[in-house]
Amino acid sequence: MRILLVGPNHPGGSIPPYLDVLQAGLAAAGAHVERVGSDGPPYDPERGGFRPTSEIVAAARALLSQVDLGAFDVVSLHFGNLEVEQLLPVLWSGARRPPVVYHVHSLAWTLFDRHCPDPRLRAAVAQAAASMDGYVFFGGHAARTLSRPPYVPAATCFLPTTIPPCTPASPRPRGDLPRLASLYGYPAPWKDAARLVDALARLRHPVRFHLAGPFWDDPAQVGAVLPVGVSRHGVAELTVTPAYLDAPARASLVARTSVAVFPYRPAATFQGSGAIADYLAHGVPVVAADVANMAELVADAGVIVPPGDPAALAAALDRFLGDAGHRQRLADAAAARAGLFRRDTHTAACLDLYERVLTRRKVVA
């Protein structure tokens, strides 16, 4: 099978590491895979803002001109809120092309809504997203939420871990040190830092919490002031590292973590967490807010709490920290679910869907 992988292709972000994993998995399964994508969101640091709509459209056209769509059996399409790739289905509408399978990374697209308002383009992107030839959903929440024809083939499977096998990692510490809880990624609008700090201040059991990722030192994006480095919040120690973590750094953090914490809030664009797969794939239990697909991802490998409730979050963490039997049960359940988040599991589901989409195209034709 000849597959064109279309999606952002640059260091950082959440989608590019996933595409690295998917590309490697598809190739290992025998597919011929080529990749094309943007080198970053259409943001101009010198202007201090997003590029004009005309430049964004031109960038999308330039991206499309790099490939011969007719040379492939399937297009695997990926974009989130900001990528210019969201314009490609608009630009190739009506053209001769192979079937397109859309991997749903976001449920709404803010580029032409919030950043570069253009109602016409925003409507065109939404219409194109609702008329693909197949869909990969990273959980049932997106499958239920995104508008699409009911007869179009789809697969519902979880995001795989983006930490490659055998990535070197620091060992978990032993002894009487407080347990480590962690969360990494960008301070997206659905990450509730203020509630996290509130919950940490309520804890009865000591814990070290590591929060890592670009821009956690920017109050405008975080919605709270978080000191860089180490700060105390009651019996909790919070370390903030405002830097992108590559695969070895993510592997080290996950290996040292006793419990992952996802204090999220509801958001229209949010379909589910990618970072959570790194923890669950390595048998790390999770405490998460009940938004989007979090409960489906975690199942019995953690605890789900109401969003926006720091007292409930603190209570869940305190029980984990203070109850050894409870902690072991969650760790065992996380280890049992780990296979759901591995590369080959995800790749097999995607290839099966691509085959079904191709078969349907032949039957319809």
* Confidence (pLDDT) at 365: 45
* Confidence (pLDDT) at 247: 87
From 344, 340, 334, select the one nearest 257 (Cα to Cα): 334
How large is the C-alpha radius of gyration of the chain? 21
CA distance 190 to 290: 12
Domains located in the chain, CATH noted:
2-160+342-364 (3.40.50.2000), 179-340 (3.40.50.2000)
Cβ(293)–Cβ(141) below 8 Å: yes
Name the stretches of the chain with pLDDT < 70.
169-178, 362-365
Task: Take residue 247 and report the two structure tokens written for it.
Answer: 């695969």
Task: Tell me the whole-structure pTM to 2 decimals.
Answer: 0.90
Residue 345 has phi, psi (to 5 degrees) of -60, -45
* Confidence (pLDDT) at 363: 58
From 21, 30, 24, select the one nearest 73 (Cα to Cα): 30
Q: Where are the beta strands (DSSP E) in the chain?
A: 2-6, 32-36, 43-44, 49-50, 74-79, 100-104, 134-137, 154-156, 179-184, 207-212, 229-233, 236-241, 259-262, 286-289, 302-305
CA distance 304 to 316: 8
* Confidence (pLDDT) at 188: 87
* Confidence (pLDDT) at 98: 95
From 83, 76, 44, 81, select the one nearest 60 (Cα to Cα): 83
State the CB neighbour count (10 A cutoff) for residue 22: 26
Place of tokens 């984990």: 320
* Confidence (pLDDT) at 169: 64
* Confidence (pLDDT) at 170: 59
